[in-house]
Amino acid sequence: MAPAVAFLVFDSLTQKQHDALRLAALHLTSKQIALQLGVSPVTIDKRIEAVRARLGSIPRSDLVRLYVIWREENNRDTMYDRTIDDLIILGELPGDAPKTTTQPTERPLVFEDSISFDARASWERDPVWLRPGLTPSDLGLSGKLAVIFGGAVAILMVAVLSVACINALTTLISS
């Protein structure tokens, strides 16, 4: 894959694809990237696979290597950390509007009324029904099928017992 072709593709990516590739360039797995971006690992894989497909299905390691080179050549790292205060973008402030100041770097501002969100699924946060360290993704296909089959049998047993109780009550009431 010629870097020039890859660089043209990188110029046309969405912001979400850039975010996924930027974190992949930091050697994070899809699961780690998904946790940081608040999406599922499958979504991250789809974003990266879409870029790979546009580049002829090159290996993920080559994609990340080319992306790092593209970011270094275009000085893209500063793009994420700069403050947008360009008046052309923001427009002119009215004459009586208060002038804003930049946030001091020595002490960041804390928003005490903000809410903290946990991006993990409920079964990953507090797995009380699993033994410690076991997640549903560790079960594999046969384990997941066994859980589904066990749940179906349990539901069937509850339904049969309910019908039996209703029959017993109706015979008791009618006699």
Average pLDDT over residues 3-30: 88
The class that CATH gives domain 3-80 is mainly alpha
Query: What pTM, to 2 d.p., does this model score?
Result: 0.43
Tokens matching residue 156: 């069937």
Sorted by where each begins, the domain ranges of the chain are: 3-80, 136-174
Answer whether 33's CB lies under 8 Å from 44's CB: yes
In sequence order, which ranges of 25-139 are alpha helices (DSSP H)? 30-37, 41-54, 60-73, 87-90, 122-125
Residue 137's nearest CA partner among 10, 15, 31 is 31
**Tens of pLDDT along 108-153?**
555 555 555 555 555 555 555 555 566 666 777 888 888 899 999 9
